[in-house]
Amino acid sequence: MAERPTADVLAIAAHRDDVEQTCGGTLLRLGSRGVSTAILDLTRGEAGTRGTADQRAAEAAEAARILGVGWREALDIPDGQVENTWSNRLKIVAVLRHLRPRVVILPYWAGRHPDHYNSATLGYEACFLSGLAKVDTGAAPHRPFKIVYASLYADVRPSFVVDVTDFMDERHRALMAYRSQYANQAAGSSLFVPEQEIRERTFAEARHYGTLAGVRYAEPFVQKEVGLVDDLTMLPVQSL
């Protein structure tokens, strides 16, 4: 019998390519340290201006290979209609109880696209629901220990950043695996950044957050709870 897959860290996002944009470098860094990672895309991308659901499935598989994630699946929630419903929560609960992650990465809870901020609330409530023993899905209850929010495109001060300096080229390759989305084409040309500018823009964003922490490139995250420090002498990031 095949061993059931597990993941230490599960990144949940609305669309195929969202994870690559916001926390792909972090997944690469975790993987380099032996941490098992997984991605759950809530939709299949059938409503996007560019590409088809089948194209994006193939691209997502290639991006997952580059990121080194051990598991990636997409739910059947309609693209553009991510809603915090009981049935959608249960779909995520089934994945949480299957993979049993310690950490879940969610999109930040505010933004331009309703699918993104709805995914944050939907994901959070599914994490809570997954720990309730009387919610019977045929699998043992599991509640992640930690939830963090990928805040790259939110105008907020991050709680912390992750140094992704050594992984920027791979991060960029994973994003550009989505040729249906980011290759120059007539469809959506007024909405999408020209292909030749994507690297410059994504590296500049990561450079900004890296500068805040004294590293070259970083990805930002927010946590809702207070952090706990054991030893003040071991705190990173120089003050002066």
What is the pTM for the complete model shown?
0.93
Asked if the model's pLDDT at residue 105 lies above 50, the reply is yes
What Å distances lie between residue 10 and 101, 122, 140, 156, CA to CA? 6, 15, 18, 23
Place of tokens 């895309």: 41
Task: At 170, list the tokens.
Answer: 């791979």
Question: pLDDT digit string (tens) for 170-196?
Answer: 999 999 999 887 866 655 555 667 778
Task: At 150, list the tokens.
Answer: 């990928």
Asked if the model's pLDDT at residue 135 lies above 90, the reply is yes
Q: Containing H/E element for 67? A: helix 53-67
CA separation for the pair 70, 30 (Å, rounded): 12
Question: pLDDT digit string (tens) for 29-50?
Answer: 999 999 999 999 999 988 776 6
**All domains of the chain in start order, with CATH:** 9-234 (3.40.50.10320)
